[in-house]
A and B are shown apart, each in its own frame.
Chain A
Amino acid sequence: MTELELADRTLGFCAGAAQVNVVRERSLASRFARSVPTQATAVDDTTVEVLCLVDGHTGTASTNRVDDDALREVATRARRIAAASARTGRGEHPDLPRPGPPAGESAGPDPGAGHDRRTAELDPAEAGAALAGAFDVAGARATEAFGIWTSGEVSTAIVSTAGMRAAESVTDAHMKVIVRDATGRSGYAATTSVRGAEIDGAEIAGRAVSGLSPDEPAELASGEYDVVLGHEAVGTLLDFLGWLGFNGLAHAERRGALCDRIGRQVAAAVINLTDSPGGGDGLPRSFDAEAVGKARVVLIEDGVARSVVHDTRSAAVAGGGARSTGHALTAGGDPDGPAPTNLVLAGGRADSVEALAQPIRRGVFVTRLWYVNPVDPRHALLTGVTRDGTFLIEDGRITRPVRDVRFTDSVLRILAATDDLTRAGRLVSDAEHYGRRFAHGVVCPALRASGFRVTGSTT
């Protein structure tokens, strides 16, 4: 039975207004440390989720059993809890979305753009080959390799009594390699793609090794620095900005970082940020968790904030004619609100990271960031540390390593202080798969900004 057939069958057991989401994950993951495989995981699981709507209240129930008894039970359970909620009074859910054109400015991805048949075969031998390639390259430089190779296929089908009907299978593959030398210095590289064939363990390890320096790391004092943020670092910051700035629910509730700032200059004129679910370098998706079609949404244009994203519920809270933009993360809309999951930051004029460093007399280059968390969401103020390659920039050149540092800075301030970016962007993803696999990433260039706030050293 296909996921769509399973969704249809489940909807047949539902009474009243209902939506059924079926998600099947098949995935492989192979972890390694000290150039030795440590954990190899295969997952095959299906979630059937039913959302029922009673008097403006939702009830959501799920199961991973697919026999008729289980489907009937999950439908009954969802209806029962929605009815229980309705006994507290009228709810505010605006109703299930109905078929219609996407709210964005252009069409979503081509059907099948996010799927690769060969990747979906999930051959564990590909993991073995990728790991072996990485181990060889790391060993040749007297380093050890740490990381993960993973690939998966996720098939989603959504049907509803309001006429929504969508199905899609997507694949993703990811490998990251951290190489460490005997002193603990590390270098990092990763590749994420729809196609597993683009994952080359030796090539990734080679890039990670190239980020290693034999020099002793220097200390960097707290203060403000000109900075070149590598692709991975930029991707992490934008991922947070997606939540803090463009979440339509937080915005409507006046908790968002762009409250009262839509239509105003919030970043440098070189900043153009969109959510582009059909982007060729990204991880294309056709619809959200309410089966609302995805389309390109302009978020920041020439530094001016243009819009936030919505699911059906946040659009109703926002009012003023707001519509879902296809950014629901869960059926019925997540209580934490919607978020963009296909961010694309347009490139600039620089040919390379090295070119970005050229105008800087003394500054810092950051490969990637770690353990980032909001300090003041209203101002997109974050704190975190650098990891796996932080370097001093001296007289226009990236020269020697510095010990990892803590930063405390606002993403919006950094984007306002940005004066150039690399021409080429790439897909950045941490491939963190908590719960059901949902691959997403940010397509972004590296950038140069002033005033990066270093607030401590990690030693």
Chain B
Amino acid sequence: MLDLVVELASSGGEGCSYVDVRWVERTLERLTVSGGRVERVLSEQDEGIGVRVAARSGGFGFAATRDTSRAGGLAALRRATAIASSQPSAALRPLAPVVPGRGAWAGRCEIDPFAESIEARLELLLRADALLGGDPRIVRTQAESIAVRTRKAFASSEGAAFTQELTECGGGIEAHAADGDDVQIRSYPSAHGGSVAAAGYEHLLGLDLVGNARRVAEEAVALLLAPECPAGRTTLVLGDEQVALQVHESIGHALELDRIQLGEASYAGTSWVSPGDIGHLRYGSDDLRISADATLAGGLGSFGWDDEGVAGQRTMLIDSGILRAALSDRTSAASLGLTSSGGCARADGFSRQPIVRMTNVSIEPGRSGTLAELIGGVENGIYMETNRSWSIDDRRLHFQFATEVGREIRGGELGRLVKNASYAGLTPEFWGSLDGVCSASDWRVWGLLNCGKGEPGQVAHVSHGAAPARFRNVQVGVARR
């Protein structure tokens, strides 16, 4: 397929100053079991070509087709050119320079998940699901796994020509417990689909869903009996998965340069950060160090080249609390006067055009040791883990999160369980209150499969390296009935 996309990109659309062509083939299998039975096995395959052009009249046009023949590709090229030309005229938006990528890249995959039989994969899930049930207060159990393989070929009129292949695999379990009008949920290893990595079946096996199932069910039931999370301001320690989501929502999205430049104001929103803040804004305390790394092993945001052909790279976004860089694509980078893109242009399949996306935006490991050592520094506070609910405003400034589990901290040790745990804050104030991040021993990479942005909507898979972290004087217990 590389030959075809090279030919199409080289043909140059009439009246166009730039053309790029992507072929994408995606295979997905999702297995779900619930209540001791197979609930659904879903297998999806699609492929197609997306053609993006920059018209000399100033507009960009993008056309996607499932017709992967030469004729289909040429028709898409004509369509992209036509819709670019139909837009109101505007000043030509330049693209930041790029060294055209050439070659091939593949992500890590030790055990091909698609080569494992469906029966074997279901057996694993059914064993875990069986251990979730038993208590009459458990009203729903679920175990699921997912495997995705994406193959791409890309070429541009500037000479880029490469192929890429990425395998993603993972899963998780959850139990819902109910008593009267109280419903509690407990998940493992994380909420919203479990843990997924750029890896093969070995990642799912390493999660030990079966070994954790009984504990998950017991905690779901225990939450029914737990007292409500207290309300007030206190010291908050977050588990690494919740830190990952906190980074995602209040740092990653806020540092997307298209949002900062108001390009996403109509949907995803803008940012509390201004273009002029880069280089000197204090985003958080000295303990806050954030990287964007498209070369991170196992990261869902890892690649050889982004969907504009910019090589994957590692960039420090925030260092010692100071904002150093933003996430950019070629258009937003050029608009800011940067000499190169940050390599963050990503598209959801063949039928969407690349937009600024996170790669793997991570909080760097700190020096606070283990979670127990971090909690040891808290006289009174609350520990929260596993996301249950999330919301943040369109400038990524005011957020409110709830977690499945909370535990009181007394005298440097974890105490009793509390339910309906929640906290809220303002982004710079919250990250300014950060006074401890666990060390590399407690730092893990968490994958998210549900990051929505763009119109038509695009869902991105991204990862975040995170470790448990401690925040002082945070408002908790904010989401009560």
Footprint of B on A, CB under 8 Å? 27-34, 36-47, 57-65, 74, 77-78, 80-82, 84-85, 87-89, 91-92, 124-125, 127-128, 131-132, 135, 144, 146-148, 150, 176, 178, 180, 186, 253-255, 259-260, 332, 335, 370-379, 381, 383-385, 387, 404, 406, 408, 410, 431-435, 437, 455-459
Question: B residues within 8 A CB of A34?
Answer: 262-263
Asked if A370 contacts B266 (CB within 8 A), the reply is no
Q: How far is the CA of A379 from the CA of B420 in the complex (A)?
A: 13
Asked if A432 contacts B457 (CB within 8 A), the reply is yes
Q: How far is the CB of A42 from chain B (nearest CB, A)?
A: 4
Query: With contacts A127-B86, A373-B391 known, is A456 near B478, CB below 8 A?
Result: yes
With beta carbons under 8 angstroms apart, the residue of B83, B351, B390, B459 that contacts A45 is B351
Q: How far is the CB of A442 from chain B (nearest CB, A)?
A: 18
Who on chain B is nearest to A385 by CB? B393
Q: How far is the CA of A374 from the CA of B426 in the complex (A)?
A: 20
With beta carbons under 8 angstroms apart, the residue of A27, A37, A64 that contacts B456 is A27
With beta carbons under 8 angstroms apart, the residue of B43, B264, B392, B397 that contacts A81 is B43
Q: How far is the CA of A377 from the CA of B479 in the complex (A)?
A: 12
Query: With contacts A43-B456, A378-B182 known, is A457 near B266, CB below 8 A?
Result: no
Q: How far is the CA of A27 from the CA of B352 in the complex (A)?
A: 12
Question: A residues within 8 A CB of B117?
Answer: 84
Query: With contacts A146-B265, A433-B457, A434-B452 known, is A62 near B62, CB below 8 A?
Result: no
Q: How far is the CA of A431 from the CA of B142 in the complex (A)?
A: 31
Question: A residues within 8 A CB of B478?
Answer: 408, 455-456
Segment 62-82 of B: residues with Cβ below 8 Å from A: 62-67, 79-80, 82
Interface 9-mer from B2-10, B119-127, B319-327, B465-473 = B119-127
Who on chain B is nearest to A409 by CB? B481
Q: How far is the CA of A456 from the CA of B140 in the complex (A)?
A: 34
Q: How far is the CB of B390 from chain A (nearest CB, A)?
A: 6
Asked if B46 contacts A62 (CB within 8 A), the reply is yes
Question: A residues within 8 A CB of B64?
Answer: 41-45
Asked if B456 contacts A335 (CB within 8 A), the reply is no
Asked if B41 contacts A42 (CB within 8 A), the reply is no
Q: How far is the CA of A74 from the CA of B47 in the complex (A)?
A: 14
With beta carbons under 8 angstroms apart, the residue of B87, B122, B269, B479 that contacts A84 is B122
Residue interface mask B413-451, A partner, CB < 8 A = 1: 000000010101010000000000000000000000000
Question: A residues within 8 A CB of B86?
Answer: 40, 124-125, 127-128
Query: With contacts A62-B43, A64-B47 known, is A255 near B269, CB below 8 A?
Result: no
Asked if A85 contacts B395 (CB within 8 A), the reply is no
Asked if A176 contacts B266 (CB within 8 A), the reply is yes
Query: With contacts A31-B266, A40-B62 known, is A254 near B41, CB below 8 A?
Result: no
Asked if A40 contacts B400 (CB within 8 A), the reply is no
Who on chain B is nearest to A78 by CB? B43
Query: With contacts A37-B87, A40-B84, A385-B391 known, is A410 near B481, CB below 8 A?
Result: yes
Indicate whether B214 reaches chain A with its CB closer than 8 angstroms. no
Interface 9-mer from B31-39, B162-170, B361-369, B377-385 = B31-39
Given contact pairs A84-B122, A455-B479, a sample of 11 additional A-B residue pairs in the complex whose CB atoms are under 8 Å apart: A37-B87, A44-B67, A64-B46, A144-B262, A150-B455, A335-B32, A378-B181, A383-B389, A431-B455, A434-B457, A455-B424
A-B contact pairs, 7 of them (CB 8 A): A33-B262, A37-B87, A63-B45, A64-B48, A78-B43, A254-B178, A255-B183
Asked if B266 contacts A146 (CB within 8 A), the reply is yes
Question: A residues within 8 A CB of B172?
Answer: none
Asked if A36 contacts B90 (CB within 8 A), the reply is yes
Indicate whether B276 reaches chain A with its CB closer than 8 angstroms. no
Question: B residues within 8 A CB of A124?
Answer: 82-83, 86
Question: A residues within 8 A CB of B481?
Answer: 376, 379, 381, 410
Question: B residues within 8 A CB of A404?
Answer: 393-394
Q: How far is the CB of A285 from chain B (nearest CB, A)?
A: 20
Question: B residues within 8 A CB of A384?
Answer: 391
Question: A residues within 8 A CB of B139?
Answer: 253-255
Indicate whether B462 reaches chain A with its CB closer than 8 angstroms. no
Question: B residues within 8 A CB of A373?
Answer: 389-391
Indicate whether B291 reaches chain A with its CB closer than 8 angstroms. no
Q: How far is the CA of A437 from the CA of B65 in the complex (A)?
A: 15
Indicate whether B115 reaches chain A with its CB closer than 8 angstroms. no
With beta carbons under 8 angstroms apart, the residue of B32, B48, B62, B388 that contacts A42 is B62
Who on chain B is nearest to A180 by CB? B265
In the A-B complex, the 5 residue pairs with the closest CB atoms: A434-B457, A37-B87, A124-B86, A84-B118, A458-B398
With beta carbons under 8 angstroms apart, the residue of B40, B122, B176, B389 that contacts A375 is B389
Indicate whether B273 reaches chain A with its CB closer than 8 angstroms. no
Indicate whether B59 reaches chain A with its CB closer than 8 angstroms. yes
Q: How far is the CA of A45 from the CA of B478 in the complex (A)?
A: 45
Asked if B88 contacts A128 (CB within 8 A), the reply is yes
Asked if B40 contacts A60 (CB within 8 A), the reply is yes
Indicate whether B60 reaches chain A with its CB closer than 8 angstroms. yes
Who on chain A is nearest to B182 by CB? A378
Question: A residues within 8 A CB of B40?
Answer: 58, 60, 332, 335
With beta carbons under 8 angstroms apart, the residue of B34, B46, B181 that contacts A259 is B181
Q: How far is the CA of A40 from the CA of B88 in the complex (A)?
A: 11
Asked if A41 contacts B456 (CB within 8 A), the reply is yes
Query: With contacts A40-B62, A81-B118, A434-B452 known, is A61 near B178, CB below 8 A?
Result: no
Q: How far is the CA of A171 from the CA of B424 in the complex (A)?
A: 41
Question: A residues within 8 A CB of B392?
Answer: 371, 385
Query: With contacts A64-B48, A255-B183, A456-B400 known, is A371 near B43, CB below 8 A?
Result: no
Question: A residues within 8 A CB of B353?
Answer: 39, 41
Question: B residues within 8 A CB of A39?
Answer: 60, 62, 353, 355, 455
Q: How far is the CA of A56 from the CA of B122 in the complex (A)?
A: 16
Who on chain B is nearest to A57 by CB? B38
Who on chain B is nearest to A84 by CB? B118
Question: B residues within 8 A CB of A92?
Answer: 37
Q: How far is the CB of B391 from chain A (nearest CB, A)?
A: 5
Q: How far is the CB of B180 from chain A (nearest CB, A)?
A: 9
Asked if B420 contacts A335 (CB within 8 A), the reply is no
Interface centre among A127, A150, A178, A375 (most CB of B within 10 A): A375
Q: How far is the CB of B52 from chain A (nearest CB, A)?
A: 9
Question: B residues within 8 A CB of A81?
Answer: 41, 43, 118
Question: B residues within 8 A CB of A32?
Answer: 266
Asked if B37 contacts A437 (CB within 8 A), the reply is no
Asked if B400 contacts A131 (CB within 8 A), the reply is no
Q: How far is the CA of A127 from the CA of B86 in the complex (A)?
A: 8
Question: A residues within 8 A CB of B79?
Answer: 42
Question: B residues within 8 A CB of A459?
Answer: 397-398, 426
Asked if A135 contacts B456 (CB within 8 A), the reply is no
Question: A residues within 8 A CB of B84?
Answer: 40
Question: B residues within 8 A CB of A57?
Answer: 38, 41
Asked if B269 contacts A38 (CB within 8 A), the reply is no
Query: With contacts A379-B181, A384-B391, A433-B457 known, is A178 near B398, CB below 8 A?
Result: no
Asked if B83 contacts A64 (CB within 8 A), the reply is no
Question: B residues within 8 A CB of A80?
Answer: 118
Who on chain B is nearest to A61 by CB? B43
Asked if B66 contacts A84 (CB within 8 A), the reply is no
Query: With contacts A63-B46, A376-B481 known, is A87 near B62, CB below 8 A?
Result: no
Who on chain B is nearest to A125 by CB? B86
Q: How far is the CA of A182 from the CA of B393 in the complex (A)?
A: 20
